[in-house]
Amino acid sequence: MGFVEKLYIPAIINGLKITLKHLFGEKVTIEYPEEKRTYSPRFRGRHVLKVDENGIIKCVACELCEIACPSFAIKVVAKKSEIPGREREPEIYEIDYLRCIFCGLCVDACPCDALHMTSQHEWAITSRKGAIWTKEMLMERKKNG
Amino acid sequence: MNFSDFVWFIIVIVKIIVIFSAVLTVVAYLTYAERRIGGFIQDRLGPNRVGPWGLLQPIADGLKFVFKEDFIPAKANKFLHILAPAIIMGTAIIALAVIPFSSSIQIGKWKINLIISDIDGGVLFLLAIGGISLYGLILGGWASNNKYSLLGALRSASQLLSYETTMALSVLSTVLLFGTLSLYEITELQTANPLKWGIVKAPLSFLLFLITGFAETNRVPFDLPEADSELVAGYHTEYSGMKFAMFFMAEYTHMVVVSSVITCLFFGGWQVPFFSQQYLINSIGQIPAFLLSVISFSIKTGFFLFFFIWVRWTLPRFRFDQLINLGWKVLLPIAVLNLLFTAGVVIYA
């Protein structure tokens, strides 16, 4: 290092210039509750149980999602279906979001394309029970019936 | 006590209240400015939620500090534990007493200016008070009954001691140039002509004072006593609530004091550049001239406060051996040579 460099003063001035540039530069903060970032369409958020065009649940209670789930968050109990052409449908379909790790293996496992994940990830619970979502809560709601 | 003395007494009390409240407000908003500017420098926004642009943030912080538990560790020396923040805050505030914030106005037979006490040895007073604030650090570390706090305090003590000498020597060379120890007189002697300011007459003293000023206020790159980004805050680890806030406020008050002293010694204090105070009084009247001098002082001091914050978010911290080497092997010899050179100039030129 030469004498001027050893004084460190040019380096300090350079550093100050850089920080001054950033002081007036563009900010990257997203002010969360008012402003939200857009997520990828593949974002893995809360689940939804799909329904067909007649509004009937697609799930046939094969329990493959329950088997695929690494954290034992899904509980499926099947019953005999009253829908013509269907053998089984879920009586109970529950996901415990205190166990769920949002890995998406259940969606991969589903043979009927009945289980999807949405981009919704903002919800609050006040009890452990509140974390368990039932079939009715998870069912997809079609617009206008 | 006759009437004249009584009026003078009232004037001094009012001055104390005005300066005290103004500086404490500045200190409160410095914490806000620090976080906001720091945020901007790191491409963030900083605190902007409490009130418009986050301007009420200092009040929220203050309330939080008041309601926090004021904890004193077991087997700590209670008296000294309480005394330490009082010393450090007290000395920081007392130093404001000799700083001239404005020019003077003549009302009747009273000459009024915003300086609480224009004592002859103002500069000496400042250095002495700076020395006493060291006790706050050491007592705070020692009284906490925590070996790491004590080590932190010793580290601070050696740092402050190393840099105080250089600071005194750099101030001494400016004092030699102006031939007075009173900050008000030094400000007056610098006049409104920027070429007669301390920065032009003694640029090296200015640089030394700036560097040691950073060290004395424990600011980055000399913030080893605190080292908040990697160590547990050194001497004030065991402090909480308002007592911690006192240490915190003392740091910012020190910043205000050092910035004011830099302004007084090197940047013409309250002098408005290019317009002499006499000229301003004659052309726009006494009170506007007085206010203009306050504004001039505030802008100059404000720039240095910004500079303190700006440097903090730019530079990394010194290692301890680098710090002590810089203090004793580089800055002190330069300060001594600078003093000798200045003395030579004063005698022969």
Residue A127 to chain B, least CA–CA distance (Å): 29
The answer to whether A35 contacts chain B (CB < 8 Å) is no
Cross-chain CB nearest to A12 (options B41, B43, B315): B315
Supply the pLDDT for residue B262. 93
Are B314 and A19 an interchain contact pair (Cβ–Cβ within 8 Å)?
Answer: yes
Bridge partners of A92?
A: A77
Extended strands (E) in chain B: 104-107, 110-113
Most B CBs within 10 Å, among A12, A13, A16, A19, to test the B interface = A19
A29 touches chain B (CB under 8 A): yes
Q: CB distance B43–A16 less than 8 Å?
A: no
Phi, psi angles (nearest 5°) of residue B187: -60, -45
Residue entry with tokens 């019936």? A145
Average pLDDT on B94-120 reads 85
Q: Which of A38, A24, A19 is nearest to A119 (CA)?
A: A38
Test the A interface: residue of B36, B37, B40 with most A CBs within 10 Å: B40
Residues B310, A16: C-beta atoms closer than 8 Å: yes
How confident is the model at residue B228, as a pLDDT? 67
Write out the DSSP string of A22-41.
HHTS------TTTS-PPPPT
Q: Do A28 and B43 touch (CB under 8 A)?
A: yes
- Rounded to whole angstroms, the Cα distance separating B333 from B338 reads 8
CB contact A22 to B (< 8 Å): yes
| Residue contact A19–B44, C-beta within 8 A | no
Q: β-pairing, A115-117 with A132-133? A: unpaired
What is chain A's mean pLDDT, rounded?
A: 89
What pLDDT digit, counting tens, does each position of B222-242 carry? 887 777 666 667 788 888 888
Q: Does residue B314 carry a pLDDT above 50?
A: yes
Task: State the count of interchain CB pairs (< 8 A) between A and B.
Answer: 34
Q: Does B329 touch chain A if contact means CB atoms closer than 8 Å? A: no
**Confidence grade of residue A45 (pLDDT, cut at 50, 70, 90):** very high
The answer to whether residue B300 scores a pLDDT higher than 50 is yes
**pLDDT band at residue B120, thresholds of 50, 70 and 90?**
confident
Residue B9 forms contact with A (CB below 8 Å): no
Burial B120-137 (b: 16+ CB within 10 A, else e): eebbbbbbebbeebbbbb
Which residue is closest to B49 within chain A, CA to CA? A31
* pLDDT higher than 60, residue A145: no
What residues of chain A lie within 8 A of the CB of B43, using their CB?
A: 22, 25-29
Position B205 scores a pLDDT of 92
Task: For residue B276, give the H/E element and its range.
Answer: none
| pLDDT score recorded for residue A93 | 94
pLDDT at B328 (0 to 100): 92
Q: What is the pLDDT of residue A143?
A: 59
Higher pLDDT, A84 or B338: B338
B322 touches chain A (CB under 8 A): no
Please judge whether A26 and B42 are an interchain contact, meaning their C-beta atoms are less than 8 angstroms apart.
no
pLDDT bin (cut points 50, 70, 90) of residue B118 is confident
- Give per-residue pLDDT as tens, A86-130: 889 999 999 999 999 999 999 999 999 999 999 888 888 899 999
